[in-house]
Amino acid sequence: MNTKTKLGAALGGTVLAVALATGGTAWAAPAASTAAASPAAVTKLSQADAANRLRNAGITWSSSGNCTNRNNAHCTSFEQINLATVQGAITLKNASRCALTITGGTETGHASGTYSHWNGYKLDFNPTTCLSNYITGTFTYIGPRAGDGAPQYRAGSGNIYARESSHWDVLFYSCGC
């Protein structure tokens, strides 16, 4: 595989790669929209691994059913969550210095889609005053979400924070806030 092919394969179609003939140098232009780009390969975690990482970071969670079964909407599950999502929650905790409680993970019962709870990209958080003030005071307001009108804020990393009626619905494209 030559350098041009390796670059194209590594980029996974999320950016347009143009290799320059002189000196074998390559240049990559970003895709038009992060949301429109196809998801890159992600590392999935087990319930136990994700729970240990979150617990070690001081992040708690709760479920109305006091369970972790991914196929039960009353549970809060981390099974098949993306590593970057867990790392993003830890980054949020460290950056905000707020106590974080997760109220929704990868369990069934959330909206479907590529960047969904089920696919490991989203977590729901209890909307404490500390967390709400951090999100609204730090990130850029980008308008209401189509469908439900939830106010949305975007971090520099591209992660999206939507204030639903009972929680913050956070879409982690990356491990940054």
Q: Which residues pair with 163 in a beta bridge?
A: 168
Structure confidence at residue 40 (pLDDT): 67
DSSP state for residue 57 in the 8-state scheme: T
Position 155 confidence tier, pLDDT thresholds 50, 70, 90: very high
What six digits make up the tokens of 144? 């209401």
Written as six digits, the tokens of 35 are: 């949301």
Q: Is the pLDDT score of 20 beyond 50?
A: no
* Overall pTM > 0.95: no
Does position 13 have pLDDT exceeding 50, yes or no?
no
Which helix (H) or strand (E) is 93 found in, with range? helix 83-96
pLDDT surpassing 70 at residue 33: no
- Confidence band for 177, pLDDT divided at 50, 70 and 90: low
- Indicate the domain borders of the chain: 1-33, 44-171
Mean pLDDT computed over 34-46: 70
pLDDT in tens, 81-127: 999 999 999 999 999 999 999 999 999 999 999 999 999 999 999 99
DSSP annotation of 39 reads P
Spatial neighbors of 167 by CB under 8 A, at least 6 apart, are: 103, 104, 124, 125, 126, 127
Residue of higher predicted confidence among 37 and 97? 97
**Confidence band (pLDDT; 50, 70, 90) for 176?**
confident
